[in-house]
Amino acid sequence: MKLVLLVFLFICFDILAIGVCKSNSSRPDTVNIGAILAFNSTIGRVAKVAIDAALNDVNSDPNVLRGTRLVVHQQDSYCNGFIAIVEALQFMETDIVAIIGPQSSVVAHVITHVANELKVPLLSFSATDPTLSSLQYPFFVRTTQSDAFQMAAVAELVDYFQWRQVIVIFIDDDYGRNGVAALSDKLAEKRSKISYKAALPSEPDRSDISDLLVRVALMESRVIVLHANPDSGLKVLKEAHYLGMTITGYAWIATDWLSSLLDSHSPLDSEIMDAMQGVISLRQHTAGTKRKKSLLSKWSKFKMDDNAINFGLNSYGLYAYDSVWMVAHALDAFFDDGGAIEFYNDSRLQVADGGTLNLEALSVFGKGNLLLRKIQSTVFDGVTGPFELDSDGNLIHPAYDIINIVGTGSRSIGYWSNYSGLSTETPEILYLKPPNLSSINQKLYDVIWPGQTTTKPRGWVFPNNGQELRIGVPNRFSYPEFVSEEKGSDTMKGYCIDVFTAAVNLLPYPIVYRFIPFGNGLVNPNYTELVEKVSSNEFDAAVGDIAINTDRTRIADFTQPFIESGLVILTTVKEHDSSAWAFLQPFTLEMWCVTGLFFLFVGAVIWILEHRINDEFRGPPRKQLVTIFWFSFSTLFFAHKEPTVSTLGRFVLIIWLFVVLIVQSSYTASLTSILTVRQLTSPITGIDSLINSNDPIGYQVGSFAGKYLVEELRISSSRLKVLHNPDEYAAALKLGPDNGGVAAVLDERPYVELFLSTKCSFAMVGAEFTRGGWGFAFPRDSPLAVDMSTAILRLSENGDLQRIHDKWLMRSSCSSENTEIESNRLQLRSFWGLFAICGVTCFLSLLIYLIMIIRQFLLHFSQQAPETPEGSSRSGGSKSGRILQSFLSFADDKQPDSRTKSKSGRCLSATRNSIDIRSETSTPRK
């Protein structure tokens, strides 16, 4: 037994020793990582100091790496992509397990291919190119925010200020192009777009920038997004200020390069600050953690230790600091999991080595996949807040500060996060609330725009290229009152032209335009073709009697309608002769029935309420039935002779007489109109009767009505006949369908109303079966369409639109006689409120009366019960039957009026007193 115990202890000590040796062997004394920076750049010089500070804090913390010292080898790329690539390859020749960087997105696109092959993770704190995805580049770890989120914030700003077009100035490299592509996608989600992409070379000179800005100044949009690096972006703003492009009317949005410049070099020279007044910029949002405050308090000491010039800490420096800590935490977990630092040569590189390049020196990190997984799963509290990657490889809680450059610095006007959009509350507060991306909750503080104004720029102007607007105008043959060309000149006139010129005069800016006739003037042109020419940029706009319909709105934008215009039916009519039964026409059958039933119902209610106390409502059943009928219908003429005694009866009668008064007055007025006013009739009563017939239908040439009848109403095209002018309308309608004419003409209401103003033997029948209007057409997303709509609304509000209408379209020869043929019969829906009030009154009165009669019966029944003989209680059916019979008998018995009862009582008392006196006087004295 002792021998077995000794063997067991020996094995345990041996296993423990092996484990200790393994643990010690997996945790080396030092671990080497690399860093590729541009020491002379705004971001690089801050990152260099931040990485040194993080390295010092990591090695002084006994809870991280536990006995292993972290070493960072930093290389200066001199802002040169080629040198950065060479330095990355040099790192691969040594025992480097991870690289902080590269700083540039352009370099990252190249180095990541090397990192993927050699299994060395890259942790970039400043490569924001959204196309550097974890799927294509698995060993690329972004430890900063992707530009996909920054461009979403820019798109939110554009939408918040209600702009629809922007110009983007960017550096023509991977960082610039891919950022602009992301912005284009985000703007499309907000129904906005990039109207012009202005690309700059990587290192532009002043002439490059000046030429580009001159082209931008000739564009329509005045909203400019500047996506560049600090050096190039600053040059663009200075040149724009020199060219007068930072004045009132412009809006500049700079990405986070500007905030990094301000944070690192504030205060800047006054000349530079003047160039960026009113600019909006974004800054990567970092939480105000204790570690961040501690790092800021020690920042001056770190700069002095690094012999660096005076500069501040920006957001990229904070992410560089956290990147070092991320590697440290990942290495700690890597060693705990038994990971070992070991490299091996790639046989493919030995085969490829045929020159002086020392490719065989490049070694593959054997445990690179394990370290990558540890980095991706690392979670800790950094100086920027909770530091963690999501499933897509992006940092959680992406957010940006929105700042406004004013005076000698900047002011915060709000925040953006993909959790709640734009807000004046910090993202940390919003994370404690439910997400809310509603447009109502999007808000920012007021912005001071270029030109020192708080008025939001309109965001666009007419292109300053000396070109006038080409406005297509339909050259009509018929109805010249709406739009036409004056004979012998190129001048256009008409109702639509006057509306357009009046709206243009209300615009807050001048426009230069020229009317171009569309059509030969001998026949009405096709209006859909006119709108298509606007869509294809042959015309800059189309002005005229252009109906707004679905097909046209798909290809162009329309203004607010300046006149209502739906399809109506025009046909011939004849006078209607009154019949012997004309007196029945004022009411519909439903109205007659309900009115008659209410007469009987109210009569019955009055009889019930008056039966016990009113002699007029008593007597034999036949007499009572005749009384009910007589009383009911005599109220129609207010000729009822039977007085009502009860309060409830009088209340019901007052309500009913009011109802009768209203119904009688309405009947009289309607019957008078039917018998005395000219009545016009037509065999066509509406669109349904026209569809169901086989008669030919006319429509105006060039109108959308023909297509609508065929495609929407499914009317055979063989039934349709094209008509060219009002005279053809009248001739075709007079001929009729049997003589080669048409049964009706379908046209838009303004044309028909103008036609009827001089043609008295025709009329509109039925209701308007489409709803629409006329508007002016502009290209898609044209800002002029919005301003013209506002001007048209102002014309409507101040009465100018009606005055223009009266000037061109008012005719008085027979317009007052020609009204639409519609039914004048009174419907039940017009009186149901009165009947409902009367019915409720009757019901409540009956309910109150029933309660009163039951109460009186119970009192009477309790008084009569002791006087009932005992024998009689045992005879004659059930008790409930006897009670019901007694109640009905009680309800049918006459109850004397209270006034009569009191008078009879007084007479009986007086009689008794007189008898007593006579008896006393007749008694002999003793």
Q: What is the pLDDT of residue 899?
A: 45
Q: What is the pLDDT of residue 603?
A: 76
The single-letter code of the amino acid at 819 is T
Least confident of 436-440, 784-788, 881-885: 881-885
Beta-bridged to residue 399, according to DSSP, are: 417
* Between 677 and 20, the higher pLDDT residue: 677
**What is the C-alpha separation between 199 and 190, in angstroms, rounded?**
24
* Between 651 and 457, the higher pLDDT residue: 457
Crossing angle of helices 105-118 and 81-92, in 10° steps, is 20
Token pair 């009519």 in the structure block, residue: 573
Single out the residue of 681, 694, 695, 690 nearest to residue 736, CA to CA: 695
Q: What is the pLDDT of residue 912?
A: 46
* Between 617 and 470, the higher pLDDT residue: 470
Q: What is the pLDDT of residue 605?
A: 82
Q: Is the pLDDT of residue 270 over 70?
A: yes
Q: pLDDT, tens digit, for every residue of 494-529?
A: 999 999 999 999 988 888 899 999 988 888 899 999
Average pLDDT over residues 448-467: 83
Torsion of CA 789, 793, 794, 800, to 10 degrees: 110
Q: Is the pLDDT of residue 17 over 70?
A: no
**pLDDT band with cut points at 50, 70 and 90 for residue 925:** very low
3-class DSSP state of 792: helix
256 touches 227 (CB < 8 A): no
Q: Residue 671 class from Cβ within 10 Å (0-12 exposed, 13-18 middle, 19+ buried)?
A: middle
The fraction of the chain above a pLDDT of 70, given in percent, is 81
**What is the C-alpha separation between 182 and 844, in angstroms, rounded?**
71
**pLDDT band with cut points at 50, 70 and 90 for residue 576:** low
Average pLDDT over residues 310-327: 92
Q: What is the pLDDT of residue 267?
A: 81
Q: Is the pLDDT of residue 607 over 50?
A: yes
Average pLDDT over residues 778-785: 88
User: Can you give the pTM of this predicted structure?
Assistant: 0.69
712 touches 512 (CB < 8 A): no
**What is the C-alpha separation between 364 and 452, in angstroms, rounded?**
58
**Exposure string for 479-517, b = 16+ CB within 10 A, e = fewer:** bbbbbbbeeeeeebbbbbbbbbebbbebeeeeeeeebbb
**pLDDT band with cut points at 50, 70 and 90 for residue 22:** very low
Q: What is the pLDDT of residue 351?
A: 52
Number of neighbouring beta carbons within 10 Å of residue 834: 18
**pLDDT band with cut points at 50, 70 and 90 for residue 855:** confident
Torsion of CA 913, 918, 924, 925, to 10 degrees: 50
What is the β-pairing status of strands 251-254 and 193-200? unpaired
Q: Is the pLDDT of residue 205 over 80?
A: yes
Least confident of 84-98, 145-159, 399-413, 579-593: 579-593
User: Quick one: tokens of 861?
Assistant: 């029944």
Q: Phi then psi for 57, rounded to 5 degrees? A: -70, -35
Q: How far is CA 659 from CA 310, 581, 587, 646, 838, in A?
A: 92, 25, 15, 20, 8
Q: What is the pLDDT of residue 891?
A: 64
Q: Is the pLDDT of residue 819 over 70?
A: no
Q: What is the pLDDT of residue 15?
A: 38
3-class DSSP state of 274: helix
Q: What is the pLDDT of residue 474?
A: 93
Q: What is the pLDDT of residue 895?
A: 67
Q: Is the pLDDT of residue 55 over 90?
A: yes
Q: What is the pLDDT of residue 595?
A: 78
Single out the residue of 685, 438, 420 nearest to residue 573, CA to CA: 685
Q: Is the pLDDT of residue 98 over 90?
A: yes
Q: Is the Cα torsion angle 415, 419, 425, 431 positive or negative in sign?
A: negative
Q: Is the pLDDT of residue 889 over 50?
A: yes
Average pLDDT over residues 747-755: 90
Query: Per mean pLDDT, which of 465-469, 786-790, 820-824 is the most reliable?
Result: 786-790
Q: Residue 262: which H helix or E strand, with range?
A: helix 257-265
Number of neighbouring beta carbons within 10 Å of residue 361: 14
Spell out the residues 6+ positions from residue 352 whose beta carbon is closer than 8 angstroms to its own: 359
605 touches 845 (CB < 8 A): yes
**What is the C-alpha separation between 439 and 851, in angstroms, rounded?**
59
Q: Is the pLDDT of residue 24 over 60?
A: no
Arithmetic mean of pLDDT over the chain: 82
* Between 573 and 124, the higher pLDDT residue: 124
Q: Is the pLDDT of residue 653 over 50?
A: yes
* Between 583 and 487, the higher pLDDT residue: 487
Q: What is the pLDDT of residue 347?
A: 64
Q: pLDDT, tens digit, for every residue of 351-391?
A: 555 555 555 667 888 899 999 999 999 999 999 999 999 99
* Between 597 and 802, the higher pLDDT residue: 802
Least confident of 395-404, 574-583, 639-648: 574-583
Q: pLDDT, tens digit, for every residue of 151-203?
A: 999 999 999 999 989 999 999 999 999 999 999 999 999 989 999 999 999 88
Q: What is the pLDDT of residue 641?
A: 63
